[in-house]
Amino acid sequence: MIEACTRSRVPAGCSGCGVVSDWTHSRYVRHLADAAFGGRPVRIDLSVRRLYCENGSCPKVTFAEQVSGLTVRYQRRTPLLQHLVESVGVVLAGRGGARMLRVLNVRLSRCTVLAQLMRVPLPPVETPRVLGVDDFALYGGTYGTLLVDATARLPLTLWEGRDAEQLSHWLREHPGVEVACRDGSLTYRQGITAGATDATQVSDRFHLWQGLSRRVQDIASAHRSCLAAALPPDSGTGPARVEETVENTTADTRAGSHARRLFGAVQALTRTGRSHSSVARELGLNRRTVSKYARAHTWQEVVRRPPRKPSSLDPYLDYLQQRWDEGQHSAKILHEELQSKGYLGHYHA
């Protein structure tokens, strides 16, 4: 512990009007925590003056003097220690920051570290050259929009909802975006087009791979019956061999392993004569899920997805997708366009 006091007859500036005064009213002791020294915590008991303000028009009658570099109004930590707490909080946040501060002989709870972190002013938002736009689920069916500096990989701002007008308004207030990286949402496309007309819109790698994987899965499901004919004659017994290969591949996935464990547990309990509701309460599952596993003969029936049936619209899916991306979402108008081009003939949607 360090005991110190300020000098008398040294003028100090009023915290209300700034007029200096050395007219002492009284003294009191401030207890300040400082950064550890030599592995030991430091506390400073500083005696400071309360001074009269000599400006008659100032609303303050008295004020407490502040020592530059040592005291801050309403603060029980020195600026050095406060900067240390904020820096650790920025890097490690609550629990990790509190543990690191204990190593530095600073005893603070995780809540205090988070409170200090929330008081740190945010850096000014600089318009990025490459902007990432994506949505995220808040709760239930409510979504939000997140803007990220794709070059620095730092978040810029977020808001609730997926609104094209709000996105275009942000882009108009922050000109200079050259590339906008987004998903396939028509809303974000319209917002970027309205707010940054010169920006190049591209799709990010995640949504490119996601769209490609879905397309490959649809094609593989539609032509699943062709796999048996594609096998060479000496590879096995045709369809049975293909079915076994598919089942073995499914069993290696996380969903397959989970379905196999649930199937065994549900079947073992239901064979004892217990009701589906009783089994659901014991396993922590929904009653419908238990009924689905109880009706199945094998666990593959639960995870196996039936192949998509071919549709008469399959030859025109590329054209329909193009018109949908252009903003035409009326099924009646799309049907009339196909008929006018002679694609559908007398087919009725």
Q: What pLDDT, on the 0 to 100 scale, is given for residue 145?
A: 94
Q: What pLDDT, on the 0 to 100 scale, is given for residue 346?
A: 45
What's the whole-number mean pLDDT along residues 51-61? 92
User: What is the bridge-based pairing of β-strands 179-182 and 200-203?
Assistant: parallel
**pLDDT digit string, tens, across residues 195-228:** 999 999 998 888 888 888 888 887 877 776 676 6
pLDDT over 90 for what percent of the chain?
44
Instruction: Examine the pLDDT at 34 and tell me if it is beyond 90.
Output: yes
Q: What pLDDT, on the 0 to 100 scale, is given for residue 39?
A: 85
Q: How far apart are CA 321 and CA 151, in angstroms?
A: 31
**pLDDT digit string, tens, across residues 260-290:** 888 889 988 888 888 999 899 888 889 888 9
CA distances from 17 to 22, 48, 58, 66, 68 (A): 15, 20, 6, 14, 18
Instruction: Examine the pLDDT at 8 and tell me if it is beyond 90.
Output: no
Number of neighbours of residue 313 by Cβ within 10 angstroms: 16
DSSP-based three-state secondary structure for 201: strand
Instruction: Examine the pLDDT at 2 and tell me if it is beyond 80.
Output: yes
Task: Classify residue 196 as exposed, middle or buried by CB count within 10 Å of its CB (0-12, 13-18, 19+).
Answer: buried
Q: What pLDDT, on the 0 to 100 scale, is given for residue 222?
A: 74
With tokens 């207890």, the residue in question is 31
**pLDDT digit string, tens, across residues 92-147:** 999 999 999 999 999 999 999 999 999 998 878 789 999 999 998 887 778 899 99
Residue 247: band (very low, low, confident or very high) from pLDDT cuts 50, 70, 90? low
Residue 188: band (very low, low, confident or very high) from pLDDT cuts 50, 70, 90? very high
Residue of 47 and 304 predicted with greater confidence: 47
Cβ contacts of residue 114 below 8 Å, gap of 6+? 89, 93, 94
Q: How far apart are CA 165 and CA 119, in angstroms?
A: 31
Q: How far apart are CA 243 and CA 304, in angstroms?
A: 11
Cβ contacts of residue 232 below 8 Å, gap of 6+? none
Q: What pLDDT, on the 0 to 100 scale, is given for residue 349?
A: 42
Instruction: Examine the pLDDT at 236 and tell me if it is beyond 70.
Output: no
Give me the chain's average pLDDT, please.
85
Residue of 332 and 50 predicted with greater confidence: 50
Number of neighbours of residue 85 by Cβ within 10 angstroms: 24
170: DSSP letter: H
User: Where would I find the beta strands (DSSP E) of the chain?
Assistant: 2-5, 12-13, 20-21, 24-37, 40-52, 62-64, 130-139, 142-149, 154-160, 179-182, 200-203
User: What is the bridge-based pairing of β-strands 179-182 and 130-139?
Assistant: parallel
Q: What pLDDT, on the 0 to 100 scale, is given for residue 42?
A: 93
Instruction: Examine the pLDDT at 242 and tell me if it is beyond 50.
Output: no
With tokens 């099924």, the residue in question is 331
Q: What pLDDT, on the 0 to 100 scale, is given for residue 343?
A: 62
Q: What pLDDT, on the 0 to 100 scale, is given for residue 347?
A: 44
First to last CA, the chain: 85
Residue 331: band (very low, low, confident or very high) from pLDDT cuts 50, 70, 90? confident
Residue 181: band (very low, low, confident or very high) from pLDDT cuts 50, 70, 90? very high
Q: How far apart are CA 6 and CA 32, in angstroms?
A: 14
User: What is the bridge-based pairing of β-strands 62-64 and 20-21?
Assistant: unpaired
Domain map (residue ranges) of the chain: 2-76, 83-119, 130-207, 253-303, 312-349
**pLDDT digit string, tens, across residues 307-317:** 566 777 777 88
Q: What pLDDT, on the 0 to 100 scale, is given for residue 216?
A: 87
Instruction: Examine the pLDDT at 243 and tell me if it is beyond 60.
Output: no
Class of domain 130-207: alpha beta
